[in-house]
Amino acid sequence: MERQAVLVTGAGGFIGGHLVAELLRRGHRHVRAVDRKPLDDWHQVHDGVDNVVADLNRREACDRVCDDIFQVFQLAADMGGMGFIETHKADCMLSVLINTHMLLAARDAGVRRYFFASSACVYNADLQGDPDVTALCEADAYPAMPEDGYGWEKLFSERMGRHFREDYGLETRAARYHNVYGPQGTWEGGREKAPAAICRKVVEAVISGEHSIEIWGNGEQTRSFTYIDDCLEGTLRIAASDVTEPLNLGSSELVSINQLVSLVEEIAGIELTRYYNPDAPIGVAGRNSDNTRIQEALGWEPSTPLRDGMEKTYKWVYDAYLRRYAGRLGPRSSAPLGAHAKDR
């Protein structure tokens, strides 16, 4: 490969697969995509790409995939939604091996630019105890009290990137992702995040005729959710910028989980009875993105309205559900299915 080659790690995942596609759309001719999952398990596999299955927990694998690479997008991590990260804290912490070995390999291979996908889970939990939360600015990561496990690993890896820039001259950049969602994402199995999980539950209710839904906690916890197209645009802008400190990459449209459920009900053309599970993991009470710095630095911020993004996501989850379970659905699967059926 030529030295202009771009490496995307975690390319078999949701964001990574979309990022590879976007790089190809923007004319990148030499892209290496890496994930430890077998190719059959990747969310997206693209032709004309150097697709590599490798475990980046191992230093030798990182050395191999960084060979002849100009720019790295480091998205690889063991992660999922709140149901996963609250019950797999050690697994999430072990991603520090990926980030340590990738930084060392990038330094030794002469990589020019290195982007790290961090998370809003790095923010101090004491600032997120109220659903009516004040939007979090970048300075709110310190004094440090991030999400246990996953958040600590992300914050530590941010600091490693900073010091590799200061000590070794590796041009590192970082974005703190806020709840990225959209088509082609994980929607079942335990790693899915709230938007996809709610879409799946509503689809199940529509198809089964059992018009009820379980909501974790009391549904009053608040978040902002970032559509995948905004995540990709922001990632590429931050990676190419001269902003060396981590930036928020998230929508500032704050909603409660109850409001998110209502939005998906409206999209599906259904009204559900809600059952609340107070013992389910819910994370912090409220989290929102302060976009002041990204607006000042890049003249841009995520702008996709939540309804627009959720409508596309719901339709994709609906189709994915039918593809996976078509043989088990019975006669109800051919019944009219709310707003989605009208669009077909």
Task: Point out the residues that are catalytic.
Answer: 150
Distance CA 6, CA 23 (A): 9
Distance CA 127, CA 284 (A): 9
Nearest to 189 by CA among 310, 333, 43, 39: 43
C-beta separation of 221 from 175 below 8 A: no
Nearest to 78 by CA among 90, 97, 96, 92: 92
Pull the structure tokens for residue 116. Answer: 């790290």
C-beta separation of 127 from 138 below 8 A: no
Pull the structure tokens for residue 316. Answer: 């994709």
Residues 6+ away with beta carbon under 8 Å from 177: 15, 117, 118, 119, 120, 226, 231, 249, 250
DSSP string for 118-174: EEGGGS-GGG-SSSSPPPBPGGGG-S---STTHHHHHHHHHHHHHHHHHHH--EEEE
Distance CA 52, CA 42 (A): 11
C-beta separation of 264 from 310 below 8 A: yes
Peptide bond into 143 cis (omega under 30): yes
Nearest to 133 by CA among 288, 293, 306: 288
